[in-house]
């Protein structure tokens, strides 16, 4: 059974969260976020990472909109949720 630490240590997760942090703050790097989502989902499926761990890994990251840096900002929450939706859509479309 994979662990949260395994997911957050992956290069794909690190790439995704780096791009996602910028996207949440400024709306920039959207294409980079899309590509990172795709790579993250591909790795997730290849390693049979369960969706609840994918969501938890993102929710525990500094990208999560309720983190102190983003608390109360509707735009940040909307951008975050759009990326989470994209990840889940790709995951279940390819599963």
Burial class (CB in 10 A: 0-12, 13-18, 19+), 80: buried
Distance between CA 24 and CA 38 in Å, rounded?
18
- In the chain, where the domains are located: 4-94
What is residue 27's DSSP assignment? S
Instruction: Give 18's pLDDT tier (boundaries 50, 70, 90).
Output: very high
Q: Residue 75 contacts by C-beta under 8 Å, 6 or more apart in sequence? A: 27
Q: What tens digit of pLDDT does each residue of 66-84 get?
A: 665 556 688 888 898 999 9
Whole-angstrom Cα Rg for the chain: 12
4 vs 73 pLDDT, higher one: 4
Conformational region of residue 3, where left means phi above 0, alpha means psi within -120 to 50, and beta covers everything else:
beta
Q: Looking at residue 65, what is its pLDDT?
A: 67
> Once rounded to an integer, what is the mean pLDDT over residues 53-57?
92
């Amino acid at each position: 059974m994979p662990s949260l630490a395994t997911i957050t240590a992956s290069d794909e997760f690190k790439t995704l969260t780096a791009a996602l942090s910028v996207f949440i703050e400024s709306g920039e790097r959207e294409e980079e976020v899309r590509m990172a989502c795709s790579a993250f989902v591909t790795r997730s499926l290849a390693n049979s990472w369960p969706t609840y761990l994918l969501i938890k890994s993102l929710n525990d990251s500094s990208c999560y909109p309720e983190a102190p840096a983003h608390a109360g900002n509707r735009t940040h929450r909307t951008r975050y949720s759009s990326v989470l939706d994209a990840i889940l859509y790709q995951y279940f479309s390819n599963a």
